[in-house]
């Protein structure tokens, strides 16, 4: 048995070296059946956090994503841009983590990290060596539980967001998208884009931000996705270890505003084909980000 393991270890080293010297990337191997099918496992922790895992040993890396089911449609009409604001704020640290630590720790092990915001969700992602999975889970759990939200962090990131907004506005046809949304939706909060409004953000208080975060960034409103060279059981155990202790909070109420007439563009996401197959969509984007 011991010799077998050793032989496997030698093979792994040879395989790694051949990868290094050949200078090739990883095989984009997929498990499971046909297109769109992934052999994933799904569990739910006692605090409501949904955990989806997918094994893929074609490359010694792992992709981690945390999807918070909060986006621009969950904002107040006079506070547009809060979800996107938190895409930024979530990197500002906790009492243990400084404002550059999240990026710093991930980069130090050769990984990458980022986030994005849409109408329905805000997503944070890391791709890193598989043996560093716990680092990513600790960082994600840390900010899910202890995010620092103060005036300094808000002012700093608001300036970054304002710059992003100005850059978007100065592009050719920079306002077409939001004008289009206003034409399509008169009632539903899909009528404004996730980027936010400078005047709304400048008018917002730190307490309002805290309230938004406390309500929406809870385990029961999130999905953790782990895809890569980690067995289901190990990934699930680590998810329990790092997130399981966080208390359960009520899931925020879902937006159920009906738009009169036909929804010709985005529609009601949850009732669409894509919404019903969201788990596969989650997995797909995680796989995509892992290569
Ligand atoms: Zn941004």
The residue ranges of every structural domain in the chain are 41-251
Task: Say which DSSP state 105 is in.
Answer: H
Beta strands per DSSP E along the chain: 41-44, 50-55, 61-68, 112-117, 122-129, 222-228
Give SS3 for 35.
Answer: coil
Cα 198 to ligand 1 centroid, rounded to whole Å: 13
Q: List the helix and strand counts (H, then E) for the chain.
A: 11, 6
pLDDT digits (tens, 9 = 90+) for 250-282: 999 999 888 887 554 444 444 443 443 444 455
| CA 243–ligand 1 middle distance (angstroms) | 26
DSSP annotation string for 111-176: -EEEEEE-SS-EEEEEEEEGGGHHHHHHHHHHHHHH----HHHHHHHHHHHHHHHHHHHTSTTTTH
Q: How many A from CA of 107 to the centre of ligand 1?
A: 20
Choosing among 3.30.300.30, 3.30.870.10, 3.30.200.20, 3.30.830.10, the CATH entry for 41-251 is: 3.30.830.10
172 alpha carbon – ligand 1 mean position (Å): 19
Distance 163 CA to ligand 1 centre (A): 9
Crossing angle of helices 82-89 and 151-169, rounded to 10°? 120
pLDDT in tens, 222-251: 999 999 999 999 999 999 999 999 999 999
Ligand 1 center from residue 69 Cα (angstroms): 17
Q: How far is the CA of 161 from the centre of ligand 1 (A)?
A: 5
The model carries a pTM of: 0.80
Give the DSSP per-residue string, 230-257.
Answer: S-HHHHHHHHHHHHTTSPP-PPPPPP-P
Place of tokens 């009906």: 258
* Residue 243 Cα to chain centre, angstroms: 15
How many other β-carbons are positioned within 10 Å of the β-carbon of residue 104? Answer: 11
Which of 250, 245, 196 shows the shortest CA–CA distance to 221?
250
Ligand 1 centre from 121 Cα, in Å? 14
Q: CA triplet 251, 139, 60: central angle to 5 degrees? A: 110
Q: What's the CA-to-centroid distance between 46 and ligand 1, angstroms?
A: 32
Ligand 1 centroid – CA 76 distance (Å): 19
CA-based angle 276:254:187, to the nearest 5? Answer: 100
User: Tens digit of pLDDT per residue, the chain (291 long)?
Assistant: 333 333 333 333 333 333 333 444 454 444 443 456 789 999 999 999 999 999 999 999 999 999 999 999 999 999 999 999 999 999 999 999 999 999 999 999 999 999 999 999 999 999 999 999 999 999 999 999 999 999 999 999 999 999 999 999 999 999 999 999 999 899 999 999 999 999 999 999 999 999 999 999 999 999 999 999 999 999 999 999 999 999 999 999 999 888 887 554 444 444 443 443 444 455 555 555 543
Compute the distance from residue 81 Cα to the ligand 1 centre, in Å: 10
């Amino acid at each position: 048995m011991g010799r077998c393991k050793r032989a496997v270890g030698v093979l792994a080293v040879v395989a790694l070296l051949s990868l290094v010297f050949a200078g090739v990337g990883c095989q984009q191997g997929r498990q499971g059946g046909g297109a769109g099918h992934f052999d994933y496992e799904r569990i739910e922790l006692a605090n409501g956090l949904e955990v989806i895992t997918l094994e893929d040993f074609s490359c010694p890396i792992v992709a981690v994503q945390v999807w918070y089911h909060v986006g621009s449609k969950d904002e107040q009409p006079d506070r547009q841009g809060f979800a996107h604001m938190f895409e930024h704020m979530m990197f500002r640290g906790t009492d243990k983590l400084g404002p550059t630590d999240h990026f710093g720790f991930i980069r130090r092990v050769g990984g990458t990290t980022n986030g994005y915001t849409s109408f329905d969700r805000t997503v944070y992602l890391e791709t890193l060596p598989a043996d560093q999975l716990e680092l990513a889970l600790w960082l994600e759990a840390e900010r899910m539980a202890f995010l620092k939200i103060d005036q300094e962090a808000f002012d700093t990131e608001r300036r970054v967001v304002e710059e992003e907004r100005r850059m978007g506005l100065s592009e050719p046809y920079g306002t077409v998208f939001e004008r289009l949304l206003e034409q399509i939706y008169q009632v539903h909060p899909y009528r404004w884009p996730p980027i936010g409004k400078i005047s709304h953000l400048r008018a917002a208080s730190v307490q309002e931000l805290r309230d938004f975060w406390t309500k929406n960034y809870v385990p029961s409103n999130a999905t953790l996705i782990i895809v890569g060279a980690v067995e289901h059981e190990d990934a699930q155990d680590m998810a329990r270890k790092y997130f399981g202790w966080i208390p359960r909070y009520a899931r925020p109420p879902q937006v159920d505003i009906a738009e009169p007439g036909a929804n010709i563009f985005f529609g009601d996401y949850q009732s669409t084909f894509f919404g019903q197959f969201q788990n596969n969509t989650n997995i797909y984007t995680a796989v995509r980000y892992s290569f």
